[in-house]
Amino acid sequence: MAAPAVIFFLLFAVVPLLGVVVLSFMAWDGLGTPVWTGTANWTRVLSDPVTHNALWLSLVVVVVSWAVQTPLAILLGVFMAGTQKYRSFLSILYFLPLLFSAAAVGIAFKALLDPNFGLGNALGVRALAQDWLGNPRLALLTVLVIVAWCFVPFHSLLYQGAIRQIPTSMYEAAMIDGVGRVKTFFHITLPQIRNTIITSSTLMIVGSLTYFDLIFVMTNGGPGNATRILPLDMYLRGFRAYDMGGASVVGVLLAAVGLTVSYLLNRAARTSSMDSQMEGA
């Protein structure tokens, strides 16, 4: 009964995963037959400053996205799990970015942020009429803000669900003991949603390693190489420069980084859960 799922997953995920390693040692322009070239792609791509830049940018994107989105998502999750008056209305608003395609979001923001036709000029606010996506110093920052706008709602939804499952008796006990809200948050809410933090972080990190649609639509990796993160580097090498071997090297890097990070996260999670159990005993 598991066979169909296994076959699909083997054919379109496991085989390509092995295939990307094999192709990283071959020269292929996307049309002819791949030819074995040994480590040529690897030495070329690894010594290319464009790759170094892409690796660095991807690292920045992963770290900044995680550091910005996780606290925001947790706080929003706490808020949405509560019983405030405007909660349901706000929950509808928060949900919207989840529904739209990255292409639609990217195109809309590109128009809104246009220095000549965009929102800044329309409102007559000089400070807003920047070339947000065309200025190499602002482009990555702008992209990161929009990416956060897109993804925080999904993660706050995860946290909302996790927080709702915390037994209310724990909060009642804290209230009777006269523990303040901040202390309650750090001593009850955060430890109780530890597993969700791991799940959300894994999804967030793998997700930010593969951000493609939005950045491709908004900047195409530019200006210069200012937003050319690893997935864009992979696409531009493979499907624009017809260097599939080089693109495969970048693909292997991406997969390796993703696997390493998830492994470390899971190990950290296991250690911390053992620690806390011992504390409790």
Give residue 120's region: left, alpha or beta (phi > 0; psi -120 to 50): alpha
Site for other proteins in 67-86 (CB under 8 A): none
**Using CB under 8 A as the criterion, what x/- string covers residues 172-201 for binding other proteins?**
------------------------x--x--
- For residues 210 and 231, the answer to whether their CB atoms sit within 8 Å is yes
Q: How far is CA 44 from CA 24, 192, 247, 249, in A?
A: 11, 48, 11, 10
The answer to whether the peptide bond before residue 223 is cis (omega within 30 degrees of 0) is yes
- For residues 78 and 189, the answer to whether their CB atoms sit within 8 Å is yes
Residue in 42, 13, 11, 82 with CA at minimum distance from that of residue 248: 42
Does position 204 bind other proteins by CB under 8 A? no
Sign of the C-alpha dihedral computed for residues 140, 145, 151 and 157 taken in this order: positive
Q: Using CB under 8 A, which of 32, 36, 99, 279 touches other proteins?
A: 99
Nearer to other proteins, 39 or 165 (CB): 165
Q: Using CB under 8 A, which of 8, 56, 186, 242 touches other proteins?
A: 8
Q: Using CB under 8 A, which of 53, 70, 91, 121 touches other proteins?
A: 91
Number of residues forming the site for other proteins (CB under 8 A): 72
CB of 101 to other proteins, least distance (A): 4
Q: Using CB under 8 A, which of 2, 182, 278, 281 touches other proteins?
A: 2
DSSP assignment of 1-47, as one string? --HHHHHHHIIIIIHHHHHHHHHTTEE--SSS--EE-TTHHHHHHHT
Q: At what angle do helices 244-280 and 49-81 cross, to 10 degrees?
A: 40
Site for other proteins in 13-42 (CB under 8 A): 13-17, 19-20, 22-23, 28, 30, 34
Nearer to other proteins, 152 or 234 (CB): 234
CB of 132 to other proteins, least distance (A): 15
CB of 108 to other proteins, least distance (A): 5
Site for other proteins in 116-175 (CB under 8 A): 117, 157-162, 164-165
